């Protein structure tokens, strides 16, 4: 309302001045027209100079004044009044030559303006014109109008402006109240949701269907932030729960073995050494679990931009890297796929995923079997499949293989942390891809990772370089 009022004041103050000047110009123009009309009609009588002819001028001037026109003064060429619009004719015969406007009109010029009349005790708007016949001046006609008439006309228009201004201010107040109420209600609902979330109710979300477009956009951004916060808190809680659960067993075993080693140190050195060796194994296992937890936590929390990676080149490189170890186990390795397969992935993700798959496949591949790494391009995706000829996995094992700390029944005592495939799943998700395990019809397991093809989309912050190979996490 204040802004609207300020705008109206800035607009209406100059407008009132303009209206006053326009009204004055209009009345002045009207008086000039009437004065010239009277002067034209009285020209012959003033030119003859006979008193008898003045009667016609007097009748005409009195008729004009009674019809609502201005006060009329008509003088002869000497400035002597031959007609006055006063109620009495006492000024007739008086000299008006001392009046500036009459003196100007008797010189053949038009005089207009305002002046204060001491006789009438008010300001007057006047017009004085000469009575001409050719170049000869035979008299003057002066019309005067109270300036208050101009003020009254302007004031009547200003009253309309004031009414319009007040109406505008009132409407602005109503509209402003409705808008501010809508905004404050939406902000109030958002504040209530914020307070409930601050109190621990992380399931609450802001309403994205009500309010102005900007407030709905703010609500959507707030919900996205809350979802991310909820996810991070859940991850931290899961990390703490997993860490406390998984670290408790190796720590307990380590403590027991150290205590037993201490007891046997003096009576059975060989037994003590055996206990210490077992304790070292528990330390290594504990170190693997902690390192895996840290890697998994970093993979979950980080928002790392993807980059273009030649998955085919990475797969060939990892096959060459693992071939020597596979030969020692009597397993043949091969690569099948295109020469190039650019995809999007976070740094080192492709290497770590393929390494984990190969490591797991080698651990179950029988001697003389084939371990195959296959890369395929299908539309907007690039898929890497690691196929082994091992014993395969049951349906419940396939469903839980990517869970944290989960290991197959035959692997419970192999010292693995059970985090390798969980890290694989997180790296794939961070790259915008997915992972899957499937049982092969011919026997064995196929481990797949699907990544977005680089030709299909362009990543934000992509560097366009291919990482060097890096031996990744092992399960």
Let me know whether 261 and 345 are in one domain: no
CATH of the domain at 369: 3.30.565.10
* 9 and 131 housed in the same domain: yes
pLDDT at site 461:
44
User: What pLDDT does 475 receive?
Assistant: 37
Backbone angles phi, psi at 67, to 5 degrees: -75, 5
> What are the counts of helices (DSSP H) followed by strands (DSSP E) for the chain?
11, 12
The count of domains in the chain is 3
**How far is 419 from 438, CA to CA, in rounded Å?**
19
Quick one: pLDDT at residue 369? 93
CATH of the domain at 238: 1.10.287.130
Would you state the pLDDT for residue 408? 62
CATH number at residue 41: 3.30.450.20
- pLDDT at site 412: 45
Identify whether 184 is part of a domain. Answer: no
Residues 287 and 428 in one domain: no
Q: What does the pLDDT read at residue 386?
A: 94
Tell me what pLDDT residue 288 has. Answer: 63
Query: Is residue 471 domain-resident?
Result: no
Q: Quick one: which of 334, 291, 340 has its CA closest to 312? A: 340
141 contact partners, CB below 8 Å, separation of at least 6 = 35, 38, 39, 42, 72, 73, 74, 105, 128, 129, 131
Single out the residue of 208, 53, 42, 280 nearest to residue 139, CA to CA: 42
pLDDT in tens, 383-423: 999 999 988 888 888 887 877 666 665 554 444 556 678 87
Same domain, 316 and 431: yes
In a domain, 464, yes or no: no
Give yes or no for a contact between 385 and 446, defined as CB atoms under 8 angstroms apart.
Answer: yes
On whether residue 52 sits in a domain, the answer given is yes
**Per-residue pLDDT for the chain (475 aa), expressed as one digit of tens each?**
788 778 777 777 777 777 777 777 777 888 888 888 888 877 777 777 665 567 777 777 777 777 766 788 888 888 888 887 765 555 677 888 888 888 998 988 998 888 877 766 778 888 899 988 888 888 898 888 787 776 777 777 777 878 888 888 888 888 888 878 877 877 888 888 888 888 877 778 887 877 777 878 888 888 888 888 887 777 677 766 666 655 665 677 677 777 777 777 777 788 778 777 777 776 776 676 666 666 656 655 556 788 999 999 999 999 998 998 899 889 999 999 999 999 999 888 898 899 889 988 998 899 999 999 999 999 899 999 999 998 888 888 888 787 766 666 555 444 455 667 887 888 888 889 999 999 888 889 999 999 999 864 444 444 444 343 333 333 3
Domain's final residue, options 298, 313, 338 = 298
**Same structural domain for residues 9 and 65?**
yes
* Assigned domain for 321 exists: yes
The answer to whether residue 355 is domain-embedded is yes
475 found inside a domain: no
Same domain for 318 and 273, yes or no, is no
Question: Is there a single domain that holds both residue 245 and residue 352?
Answer: no
Residues 63 and 122 in one domain: yes
* Domain stop point among 298, 331, 355: 298
Compute the distance between CA of residue 391 and CA of residue 10 in angstroms, rounded to an integer: 89
Is residue 142 located within the same domain as residue 237?
no
281 and 338 co-located in one domain: no
Domain boundary among 298, 316, 350: 298
Cα–Cα distances in Å, from 437 out to 7, 416, 448? 71, 19, 6
> Do 419 and 277 share a structural domain?
no
The separation between CA 309 and the C-alpha centre of its own chain, rounded to angstroms, equals 35
Same domain, 273 and 393: no
Cα–Cα distances (Å) from 468 to 182, 299, 352, 376, in that order, read: 56, 19, 12, 21
Question: Residue 420: inside a domain, yes or no?
Answer: yes
List the domain range (segments joined by +) for residue 69: 1-154
């Amino acid at each position: 309302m204040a802004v609207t009022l300020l705008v109206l004041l800035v607009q209406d103050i100059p407008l009132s001045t303009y209206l006053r000047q326009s009204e004055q110009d209009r009345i002045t123009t009207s008086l000039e027209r009437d004065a010239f009309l009277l002067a034209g009609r009285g020209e012959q009588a003033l030119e003859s100079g006979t008193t008898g002819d003045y009667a016609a001028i007097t009748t005409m001037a009195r008729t004009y004044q009674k019809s609502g026109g201005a006060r009329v003064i008509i003088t002869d060429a000497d400035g002597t009044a031959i007609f006055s619009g006063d109620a009495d004719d006492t000024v007739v015969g008086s000299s008006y030559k001392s009046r500036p406007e009459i003196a100007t009109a008797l010189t053949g010029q038009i005089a207009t303006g305002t002046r204060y009349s001491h006789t009438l005790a008010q300001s007057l708007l006047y017009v004085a014109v000469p009575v001409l016949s050719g170049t000869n001046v035979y008299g003057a006609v002066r019309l005067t109008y109270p300036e208050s008439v101009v003020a009254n006309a302007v004031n009547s228009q200003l009253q309309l402006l004031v009414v319009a201004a007040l109406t505008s201010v009132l409407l602005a107040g109503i509209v402003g109240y409705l808008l501010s109420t809508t905004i404050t209600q939406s902000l109030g609902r958002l504040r209530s949701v914020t307070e409930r979330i601050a109190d621990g109710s992380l399931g609450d979300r802001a309403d994205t269907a009500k309010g102005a477009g900007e407030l709905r956009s703010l609500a959507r951004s707030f919900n996205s932030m809350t979802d991310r916060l909820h996810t991070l808190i859940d991850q931290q809680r899961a990390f703490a729960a997993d860490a406390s659960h998984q670290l408790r067993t190796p720590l307990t075993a380590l403590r027991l073995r150290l205590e037993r080693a201490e007891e046997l140190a003096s009576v059975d050195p060989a037994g003590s050494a055996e206990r210490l060796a077992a304790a070292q194994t528990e330390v290594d296992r504990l170190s693997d679990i902690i390192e895996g937890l840290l890697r998994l936590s970093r993979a979950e929390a980080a928002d790392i931009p993807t980059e273009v990676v030649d998955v085919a080149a990475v797969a060939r490189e990892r096959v060459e890297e693992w071939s020597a170890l596979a030969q020692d186990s009597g397993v043949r390795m091969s690569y099948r796929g295109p020469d190039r397969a650019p995809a999007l992935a976070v740094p080192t993700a492709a290497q770590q995923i393929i390494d984990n798959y190969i490591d797991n496949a080698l651990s179950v591949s029988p001697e003389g079997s084939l371990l195959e790494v296959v890369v395929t391009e299908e539309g907007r995706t690039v898929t890497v499949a690691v196929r082994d000829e091992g014993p395969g996995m049951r349906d419940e094992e396939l469903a839980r293989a990517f869970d944290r700390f989960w290991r197959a029944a035959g692997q419970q005592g192999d010292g693995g942390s059970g985090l390798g495939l969980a890290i694989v799943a997180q790296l794939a998700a961070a790259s915008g891809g997915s992972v899957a395990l499937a049982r092969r019809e011919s026997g064995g397991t196929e481990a797949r990772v699907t990544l977005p093809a680089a030709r299909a989309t362009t990543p934000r912050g992509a560097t366009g370089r291919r990482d060097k190979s890096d031996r990744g996490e092992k399960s």
